[in-house]
Structure 1
């Protein structure tokens, strides 16, 4: 049975939002939900069990937890997924009717599929938002039924299934703490500390814990002792890694999760991260350069490679495939960046120029234009 939080009906229409269970899907939905609430709308977010674990993101936002299952797998897996989607569609449809939902905005991820089907069965307008540089698999399957597509970038591959006149570039909405972190790039002189932030997304990234510490230890001593490291790492050897770094003169803060990402981004001179669309939006909004290490998977996750290559070509940072991420290669790249007082500030300026801090407002404007009169 779906876990539900109910908000009473308001004078303005209720707007539904559907998002997958990762932060990359849920955080943009949260940003739009809070902007719509600020404008006086009732909202509800439809997600799955993983998404519901982001209690801080969902605080104060009515939400419904639906059953979800990926379509990946053989015949048996696909049949099981079809049954799960049908069950979730029935639950979502019932909830939408009870709340009087007038429009659904989908943010991708397979858990968003059932709410979208439910919305169309009720003849509600369907708005899809694409965070990446290529339309995701879930959104691609829904394009034929969508009334509009909002994109994060001016050029998005895979949007052939919808009339170009119904595509609007809004940017990718970011959380309030990220907006609050916007500001000038921190000073970087020849002998000043260098703040390095290493994060692996909502699932963390073990490879960063394995490669970044030895790369830093291999730096020339005059660079190594300037580094102040914040490393997101969930391994059992986290304390040992931190101790080894501190013994080498590196100020190291190693934790499984950072709940103050806005403040850490604001302080960072350089970020090492995956290349998910929400991570990219956060970096561009705050204006910070990055070394992007895309998740090394094909298929739908190939979007991270495309994101990383697009941003690297624009001058926001550097793309390093995980297969090429060795301690030696990373140490060489970091040495060149840290020894220069120009390269990182230049990349930061490019990042800031590409940021879209008004993305949530832009998307909310589009939602209000699509509401039935």
Structure 2
């Protein structure tokens, strides 16, 4: 049984794990909220159960309502467990996960939480001391108490299968005459700050770089026409939309990403190996998006700009630092690729099965051989990224 909040950041890794567990022969179900039950990308085999889940605010009235909803959700989860009989409950954060995990502890069902961000989320902090294991996406996670160290497992952040497939593909060919493809997104609904700054920032690039640009940008509906007019005024070709269903293919074509640093965004960038200019969302809980960006920035795969400093001039400066020369952009792509953890979903599934699998599953499991498992355990630093310039069967050096 998976339990997750109704946002893409919680549900994308949950969907990836559900697909892997189903492939291994398990029955899987999901507990979420109304948003999560409707979100695009849910596997067709995965039934979704909507349970009450209140938020724990500081206002006494809101706190009472939140606790009552959580208690009601817990009771409903216990009734659901009687029929589904889960061997393990896995929480991905968000308040909708809380009743399910509390019910699991009451019913003495093994439980695991997965933290997608570099800061332990509020619900996962409430549950960390009670669960059997804590799976993390980063080597260092803030607000993760030292007393829980024995049950922490760093597995990474599962990504969609179609994105993971792109890891095998070379970085798009780029030289000083090539079209430079820039992908700009701000989450599921875009971000107005990107619409305001990015067109003018790209227009400030040196002519030799600006004239090669081809932009794909996701915008809020209310920003769409204004952004279109800005690009037209700057004579920069741009494809704009409020939602792109084929985001994986657009990421495959991109040479540079500009956007937020949510957990799923970072996981997909590093899975594919794409350099980035990151603008962490300043109102994100515990400033977790800034923490998410740090490892990739330190590795040389990205540049981060605080939103308060995110101006057209600063953006143009950072793009030139990472993309003025084709080899610099390729090196940044290589650094991003080396930060990826492509075995995250398999490692998380292995962890879950260690608590909730039946012995017979070891016999009927379809998939990884011992050799594949050994390869998955190899250090990320030893990974190599193929490039478009490499000859057939060769890879670029680390």
Compute the TM-score of the two structures, normalised by the length of structure 1.
Answer: 0.91
Provide Cα deviations, 1:125-177, integer angstroms capped at 9, x if missing partner. 01011111221111011011110111112222222165322211111111112
Question: Is the 2:192–2:223 Cα contact (8 Å) retained in structure 1?
Answer: no
Q: CA deviation at 1:323?
A: 0.6
Deviates more, 1:216-225 or 1:46-55: 216-225
Match for residue 212 of structure 2 among 226, 238, 241: 226
Q: Provide the C-alpha distance between the structure 2 equivalents of 1:307 and 1:56, rounded to a whole number of angstroms.
A: 24
Distance 1:274 1:98, change over 3 A: same
Q: Provide the C-alpha distance between the structure 2 equivalents of 1:211 and 1:23, rounded to a whole number of angstroms.
A: 25
Q: Give unpaired runs (5+ residues) of structure 1.
A: 1-15
Distance 1:131 1:162, change over 3 A: farther
Distance 1:216 1:372, change over 3 A: closer
Question: Is the 2:54–2:68 Cα contact (8 Å) retained in structure 1?
Answer: no
Deviates more, 1:23-32 or 1:226-235: 226-235
Provide Cα deviations, 1:171-199, integer angstroms capped at 9, x if missing partner. 11111121122221112211111111111
Q: Provide the C-alpha distance between the structure 2 equivalents of 1:58 and 1:86, rounded to a whole number of angstroms.
A: 29
Deviates more, 1:231-240 or 1:279-288: 231-240
Residue matched to 2:280: 294
Question: Is the 2:224–2:240 Cα contact (8 Å) retained in structure 1?
Answer: yes
Provide Cα deviations, 1:47-66, integer angstroms capped at 9, x if missing partner. 11111221332433111112
Is 1:112 the counterpart of 2:94? The answer is no
Compute the TM-score of the two structures, normalised by the length of structure 2.
Answer: 0.86
Distance 1:354 1:138, change over 3 A: same
Q: Provide the C-alpha distance between the structure 2 equivalents of 1:258 and 1:172, rounded to a whole number of angstroms.
A: 22
Is 1:260 the counterpart of 2:246? The answer is yes
Question: Is the 1:140–1:161 Cα contact (8 Å) retained in structure 2?
Answer: no
Deviates more, 1:159-168 or 1:224-233: 159-168
Residue matched to 1:210: 196
Residue matched to 2:261: 275
Question: Is the 2:196–2:227 Cα contact (8 Å) retained in structure 1?
Answer: no
Match for residue 46 of structure 1 among 31, 52, 61: 31
Residue matched to 2:377: none
Is 1:126 the counterpart of 2:111? The answer is yes
Question: Is the 2:296–2:339 Cα contact (8 Å) retained in structure 1?
Answer: no
Q: What RMSD in Å do the two structures reach over aligned CA positions?
A: 1.6
Is 1:368 the counterpart of 2:353? The answer is yes
Q: Give unpaired runs (5+ residues) of structure 2.
A: 359-398
Secondary structure at the counterpart of residue 105 of structure 1: strand
Residue matched to 2:49: 64
Is 1:352 the counterpart of 2:337? The answer is yes
Deviates more, 1:261-270 or 1:152-161: 152-161
Residue matched to 2:307: 322
Question: Is the 2:273–2:334 Cα contact (8 Å) retained in structure 1?
Answer: yes
Residue matched to 2:373: none
